[in-house]
Structure 1
Amino acid sequence: MTQTAHATNHSDDATRAKRQDFYDRLAPKNLAPLWEVLKGLMPPEPTSKAVPHQWRYEEVRPLLMESGDLLTAEEAERRVLVLENPAFPGESRATATIYAGLQLIMPGETAPAHRHTPSALRFMLEGEGAFTAVGGERTTMRAGDFVITPNWAFHDHGNEGSGPCAWLDGLDIPMVRFFETVFSEGYNDKSQSLTRPEGDALARFGSRMLPLDDSGRRYGQTTPIFNYPYERTREALVAAAKGEAPDPHLATTLRYANPVDGGWTMPTMSAWMTHVEKGFETKRMRSTDGIVLCVAEGRGQITTGDKTFSYAPRDVIVLPAWAWRSFKAEEDSFLFCISDRVAQEKLGFFREERG
């Protein structure tokens, strides 16, 4: 090694030592050098911590039913098996911003009334006789129904049928926890008092007509409709598929909308349904929102990132943010999806790319 090289190495070592001494003196004062962490804070593109994952309903269902023998819905307050992404053990997160779980109500049970600042949604999976009461109105929940619980609205659930009822829960808990704004409150009774007949919200706001007054804003930015029946959703998707060729990337997709302003149904979580006809395969695309997908009907394959999952009815699959995804249907498929897209759009973060 030349004398010049020795001098250069010595100089480099001295510089590193000097800088490290500086960093060591910053740490006790709760300071850090941005230039040492900038590349990690500002990567060239998003890197999702969430990983692709599938919960097969046929495997999870026996455990969900077993929980019904262990404790009552009232004891648990909410008898739910949390769907934890393997990348977030113990954090109750399916994606970075969305909590998901499978809730069970047995015949004759009531999940006590409460309210909380996180917004919630339900996607009904199985059973007859389940209901949700929101803000003084009850709605019967049938398979495939998309049911909403607005932020800070009292709600309770029950089962007046003869068999178990189960649904997928989705909440924005991780997002609300990030802002450190989680509040909750119990009701003064197990069930809330009903003040409106069943179907009132759908009649007022879900028939392409609206009240003349501003009552449509009863839940702020959340839609005043809190049950979007699957029968209507499926009918609309099938009719739309007949009207024009499926989109190469989206197949036939319709989003659930707030009838008051035409926007998304909730301020923090977007929801939509995709219909992929038998034999159709979508081209790959990716977006910045991590998606929780639940199969309403059909069988096929979903590829997300480097994973391919064979799906069946009621399966739940996580599609991580900024991971390429595509669908291939072996049977006519109806795929329910939720994400934080609406929040990203409002903040100007949302991006998508189509291959």
Structure 2
Amino acid sequence: MNYLGCGFAEDYPEISSRSPARRGDYLPAANAANMLPLRHQVGNSSPIFNYRYDRSRDALHELTKMGAADEWDGYKMRYVNPLTGGYPMPSMGAFLQLLPKGFSSRTAKTTDSTIYHVVEGSGQVTVGEQTFNFQAKDIFVVPTWHGVSFTAAQETVLFSFSDRPVQETLGLFREARY
């Protein structure tokens, strides 16, 4: 945002804001029924304010029932804007990834820069020529066009986000899998 010169912030006048959503709601009722008002205007960002981890984790678990793990990603899903099927934000993609215990991935390179947060589990990540151990609550970055591979000592869940949507929109995203 600083590079584009369009960042800003405003102080909210109250101590906290009130949420119009009820506890447990993550989609307005009309959206949950797969319907929208006729003249609904689609914004650039997802209407979901919080993507609940328990639901996302369950979706990952269901993916494991659909077949073998991908040799590079294990089981990986992307968060979506339910109104468009696109990414939750126009400039940032978010992902959740499960690496089964004992999984060793092949090496991949992508043009997006990716920040990973280890939600569950432990293992090793090789970024370029360097290998690092990781465990729950660790954070690491894979810079653009650096090879990355994973080895999971335990079943591991990784949350990640990147600038992939911008690169895809501009036709700049590339990936190489070895």
**1:339 counterpart residue number:** 162
- TM-superposition CA deviations, 1:161-204 (whole Å, max 9, x none): xxxxxxxxxxxxxxx11111122211222212444433444253
- TM-superposition CA deviations, 1:66-94 (whole Å, max 9, x none): xxxxxxxxxxxxxxxxxxxxxxxxxxxxx
**Structure 1 pair 332/323, CA: closer, same or farther in 2 (3 Å)?**
same
Distance 1:221 1:323 in 2: 30
Distance 1:189 1:202 in 2: 25
Contact 1:278 1:330 in 2 (8 A): yes
Distance 2:57 2:25 in 1: 22
**1:52 counterpart residue number:** none
Contact 1:210 1:260 in 2 (8 A): no
Contact 1:222 1:266 in 2 (8 A): yes
- TM-superposition CA deviations, 1:282-340 (whole Å, max 9, x none): 10001011110001111111111111111100100111110000111111111001000
**1:298 counterpart residue number:** 121
**1:228 counterpart residue number:** 51
Contact 1:208 1:259 in 2 (8 A): no
1:323 aligns with 2:146: yes
**Structure 1 pair 321/229, CA: closer, same or farther in 2 (3 Å)?**
same
* Unaligned ranges ≥5, structure 2: none
More helix per residue: 1 or 2? 1
- TM-superposition CA deviations, 1:10-34 (whole Å, max 9, x none): xxxxxxxxxxxxxxxxxxxxxxxxx
Contact 1:292 1:318 in 2 (8 A): yes
- TM-superposition CA deviations, 1:97-151 (whole Å, max 9, x none): xxxxxxxxxxxxxxxxxxxxxxxxxxxxxxxxxxxxxxxxxxxxxxxxxxxxxxx
Partner SS, residue 137 of structure 2: coil
1:191 aligns with 2:16: yes
C-alpha displacement at 1:227, in angstroms? 1.1
CA RMSD across the alignment: 1.8
Distance 1:206 1:311 in 2: 38
How many equivalent residue pairs?
A: 178
**Structure 1 pair 307/210, CA: closer, same or farther in 2 (3 Å)?**
farther
Partner SS, residue 238 of structure 1: helix
Partner SS, residue 236 of structure 1: helix
**1:202 counterpart residue number:** 27
**Structure 1 pair 321/239, CA: closer, same or farther in 2 (3 Å)?**
same
* Unaligned ranges ≥5, structure 1: 1-175
Distance 1:235 1:256 in 2: 13
Partner SS, residue 177 of structure 1: coil
Report which of the two structures shows the higher radius of gyration computed on alpha carbons: 1
1:285 aligns with 2:132: no
Contact 2:101 2:155 in 1 (8 A): yes
Contact 2:46 2:88 in 1 (8 A): yes
Amino-acid identity (%): 37
Name the TM-score, length of structure 1 as normaliser. Answer: 0.48
Contact 1:274 1:335 in 2 (8 A): yes
Contact 2:26 2:51 in 1 (8 A): no
**1:181 counterpart residue number:** 6
**1:314 counterpart residue number:** 137
